[in-house]
Structure 1
């Protein structure tokens, strides 16, 4: 099996395992699927973190309004009592005005936060350093444990307009958000290796050879954005190591210069011609200006 180190720009994303006989089209599709799945898990984790702090989302027409404005406009949250956390809640108003302020109890918060940490660990980019392969199943497992934690804390479910429920039901709308720029569409995605675009319709063996025991860096790029930057000759760790060795070498040279002090060369006893001048009576000659 060949291992592809998927990077976007200079940032490592994940390791993908495939075969050299696989077509580029299939690799692009899997890359986009796993990449988008990771983004979805991160978005859900961020929203669940807010859920643990400020409770479920308020109806869209109440977002950003103060309590006085809500009363003045005679708006009500019909889902607040229907979607209450298990065991009750405490009041903790959302400064952004997006959530209803009904914070779950401490033990329920711990369930959510512990699950967030577990889900992030399953799809974190640090897995690349551990040579851990990421698959579609990792995304599914992360989604399942997040869904399970939300169900435990909110057995009656979340409001249909809550971003967490929309994500879990694949109804999210990212239009106009920063996250939408990160999502990959297979039709608009290119893969690059060694400064060359992997052409759709071709097999990986055309670019990587027939050796299955290969690990290469493949960069993801939006179609039409041009070639991505090449990988640096040295990694950041290698560069730091070289700079450290150079610093140590210069410090050693400084110490040697201090030990090899040649100021004694100007002393009288080190003068090779002193004895000759003594025989010629030239040692004590002093010049006097006219």
Structure 2
């Protein structure tokens, strides 16, 4: 199996195993599916953190409004009573007014936070450093864990307008958000290896050779942005080690220069009485 270290720009994403016989387009489809699914898990984890603190999302027409404005407009959150957390709610108002302030109890919040932590570990780019390859099944497992935590804490479900529910149902609307810039599409994304764009109608072996026991660094890049930057000759850790070694040598040279200014005074050729002692046989006398 060929092992690919997938990157975007200089940031490591994940490891992926495949075969040299795969079409580049098929490979690209799988990589983009994993990439976008990891982003989805990360977005859900972020929203679940807010859910555990401030409860479910308010309807769009009530978000950001003060209590007085809601009263003046005679608005009502119809989902507040339908979607209560298991074990009751704890009042904790959302400072930005996106959620209704009916937070889960500490025990239920702990269920959410522990599940979020586990899901983040599954999709973490640290998996690449641990030599663990990412698969669609792994990312789906993380999604299933998050879905299960929501069902435990909110047995009646979440309102359809809640970002978490929309993500779980694949109805999320990222238009105008920073997150939309990270999502990739198969029609406008290309795969690069060794500063060359892999043509989608060719096989992977046309670029990396026929040896299945190969490991390469491949980069996902949106079309029209040109080739991604080349890999560093030295890693960040290697650069730090080299700089530390150079600094140590510099300090040693400074010390040698200081010592050399006076060290000649202890040399035989600098001793004015050296010749006299030699004639008298007084040289190298030991007591």
* Alignment pair present for 1:210 and 2:210: yes
- After TM superposition, give the deviation of residue 204 of structure 1 in Å: 0.6
Report the secondary structure of 1:218's partner residue.
Answer: strand
- After TM superposition, give the deviation of residue 265 of structure 1 in Å: 5.0
CA distance in 1, matches of 2:86, 2:231: 51
Residues 273 and 84 from structure 1, CA distance in 2 versus in 1: closer, same or farther, beyond 3 angstroms? same
- After TM superposition, give the deviation of residue 248 of structure 1 in Å: 1.6
Partner of 1:34: 34
Report the secondary structure of 1:4's partner residue.
Answer: strand
CA distance in 2, matches of 1:112, 1:173: 23
Partner of 1:145: 145
Q: 1:92-171, aligned counterparts within 5 Å?
A: 92-171=92-171
| Structure 2 residues not aligned, in runs of 5+ | 276-287
Report the secondary structure of 1:61's partner residue.
Answer: coil
Report the secondary structure of 1:93's partner residue.
Answer: coil
Partner of 1:221: 221
Tell me the TM-score normalized by structure 2. 0.92
Q: Which has the larger radius of gyration?
A: 1
Report the secondary structure of 1:15's partner residue.
Answer: strand
* Alignment pair present for 1:232 and 2:232: yes
CA distance in 1, matches of 2:148, 2:274: 96
* Alignment pair present for 1:193 and 2:193: yes
Partner of 2:179: 179
Partner of 2:51: 51
Listed one character per residue, the Cα deviations across residues 29-84 of structure 1 (whole Å, up to 9, x for unaligned) are 01110000000000000000000000001111001001111011000011100000
Q: Which runs of 4+ in 1 moved over 4 A?
A: 263-267, 271-275
Alignment size in residue pairs: 276
- After TM superposition, give the deviation of residue 272 of structure 1 in Å: 6.8
Tell me the TM-score normalized by structure 1. 0.91
- After TM superposition, give the deviation of residue 256 of structure 1 in Å: 3.0
CA distance in 1, matches of 2:272, 2:219: 70
Report the secondary structure of 1:12's partner residue.
Answer: strand
- After TM superposition, give the deviation of residue 252 of structure 1 in Å: 2.4
- After TM superposition, give the deviation of residue 239 of structure 1 in Å: 0.8
- After TM superposition, give the deviation of residue 257 of structure 1 in Å: 3.2
* Alignment pair present for 1:4 and 2:4: yes
- After TM superposition, give the deviation of residue 273 of structure 1 in Å: 11
Partner of 2:251: 251
Listed one character per residue, the Cα deviations across residues 231-261 of structure 1 (whole Å, up to 9, x for unaligned) are 1111111111111111122222233334434
- After TM superposition, give the deviation of residue 109 of structure 1 in Å: 0.4
| Structure 1 residues not aligned, in runs of 5+ | 276-290
CA RMSD across the alignment: 2.0
Report the secondary structure of 1:260's partner residue.
Answer: helix
